[in-house]
């Protein structure tokens, strides 16, 4: 004897919440509706088949079909890579490597011009001023660490950076206009 569509409808109405929860428990990091979607897929496939299905134990059949669908989803799942996770030992991230989305060519040109002007302005600074700007602004190193490493008073480093920033501002003033 087989299962009729009425029996299938009744089974779906009484079991869909429990089945959805079972699927969600196996796909814990999946979107909220994924469990319900898989249950609907299994029942939709059963409804599309012949009028009377040759199934002896409907619950066992549905759980087996759902288990196979869960396994398929787990196999197809791609690893998620964060834009901020390091790619290698150099600390570069995907955000550093990939171009900005929908970047206009003029924006890229302006950015390149800004980088070139910044490099020229940095080259015009004396070595100690350039070193303090590079160390604090580009490498993110703290003043206290630099003061100890360079055996230079903290106040001297702060003054040096302040003067260097003023000179950079003057050198880059044309770009602001």
53 lies in some domain: yes
85 lies in some domain: no
Do 13 and 57 lie in one domain? The reply is yes
84 lies in some domain: no
Domain encompassing residue 39:
5-76
Report pTM.
Answer: 0.42
Q: pLDDT tens for the chain, 177 residues: list them.
A: 567 778 888 888 888 888 888 888 887 766 667 778 888 888 888 878 765 667 778 888 888 988 998 888 877 766 666 667 776 677 777 676 666 666 666 777 888 888 888 899 999 999 999 999 999 988 889 999 999 999 999 999 999 999 999 998 888 887 666
98 lies in some domain: no
Nearest in space to 8 (alpha carbons), one of 67, 39, 53 = 53
Do 60 and 114 lie in one domain? The reply is no
Q: What are phi and psi of 80, to 5 degrees?
A: -90, 125
Euclidean distance between CA atoms 36 and 18, whole angstroms: 10
Euclidean distance between CA atoms 66 and 69, whole angstroms: 5
Contact yes or no for 3/55 (Cβ under 8 A): yes
- Residue 148 CB burial class (10 angstroms; 0-12, 13-18, ≥19): exposed
- The pLDDT tens digits for 61-77 are 888 988 998 888 877 76
Please state, rounded to an integer, the average pLDDT across all residues of the chain: 82
Where among 56, 76, 96 does a domain terminate?
A: 76
| pLDDT, position 128 | 93
What is the number of domains present in the chain?
A: 2
122 lies in some domain: yes
97 lies in some domain: no
Do 67 and 13 lie in one domain? The reply is yes
Do 69 and 19 lie in one domain? The reply is yes
């Amino acid at each position: 004897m087989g299962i009729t569509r009425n029996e299938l409808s009744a089974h779906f109405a009484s079991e869909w919440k429990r089945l959805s929860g079972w699927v969600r428990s196996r796909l814990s990091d999946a979107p909220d509706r994924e469990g319900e979607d898989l249950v609907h897929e299994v029942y939709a496939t059963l409804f599309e088949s012949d009028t009377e299905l040759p199934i002896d134990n409907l619950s066992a059949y549905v759980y087996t079909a759902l288990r196979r669908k869960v396994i398929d989803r787990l196999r197809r799942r791609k690893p998620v890579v964060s834009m901020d996770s390091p790619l290698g030992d150099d600390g570069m991230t995907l955000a550093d490597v990939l171009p900005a989305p929908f970047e206009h060519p003029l924006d890229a040109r302006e950015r390149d011009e800004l980088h070139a002007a910044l490099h020229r302005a940095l080259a015009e600074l004396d070595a100690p001023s350039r070193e303090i700007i590079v160390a604090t602004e580009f490498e993110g190193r703290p003043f206290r660490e630099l003061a100890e490493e360079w055996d230079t008073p903290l106040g001297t480093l702060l003054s040096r950076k302040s003067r260097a920033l003023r000179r950079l501002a003057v050198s880059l003033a044309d770009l602001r206009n």
